A = this chain, B = another copy of it.
């Protein structure tokens, strides 16, 4: 894949995981996280580290269904083995919207697939 194809591939991987997530299914993201993935989230006082901690984290969201999402202004910076995707995310749940800033660092795996090695989600909140 050339850089443009990698970029489109990574956006498609992320959208697939997001779509499953708003339907209450964490498997899309759990399949994407590398074994040693790390994760920052505003709900936790420490960085989550490793797939097992991610699994425990997502158990908190079992049965959470959201209405829709919008991935705004996705931008990917690509190298041969690593790429960073960032975007602004609007998640709608009934009449309530949440605005997130999302950064996902993908790394090429030995089997040729791309997995997330570091993830940073935060709320956008004007001060």
Binding site for B on A (CB under 8 A): 36, 38, 40, 42-47, 49, 73, 75, 77, 79-84, 86, 88, 99, 101, 103, 105, 107-108, 117-118, 120, 122-127
Q: Which of B40, B99, B125 contacts A101 (CB 8 A)?
A: B40
**How many Å from the CB of A48 to the closest CB on chain B?**
11
> Which B residues are in CB contact (< 8 Å) with A120?
40, 86, 101, 103, 120, 122
Give the CA-CA distance A46 to B79 in the complex, in Å. 25
**Residues B82 and A84 in contact, CB atoms below 8 Å apart:** yes
**Residues B81 and A81 in contact, CB atoms below 8 Å apart:** yes
Give the CA-CA distance A125 to B77 in the complex, in Å. 29
> Which B residues are in CB contact (< 8 Å) with A122?
40, 42, 101, 120, 122-123
Known contacts A120-B103, A122-B122: does B77 contact A79 (CB below 8 Å)?
no
Known contacts A47-B88, A80-B81, A86-B47: does B42 contact A103 (CB below 8 Å)?
no
**How many Å from the CB of A87 to the closest CB on chain B?**
8
> Which B residues are in CB contact (< 8 Å) with A73?
46-47
Known contacts A47-B75, A86-B40: does B105 contact A105 (CB below 8 Å)?
yes
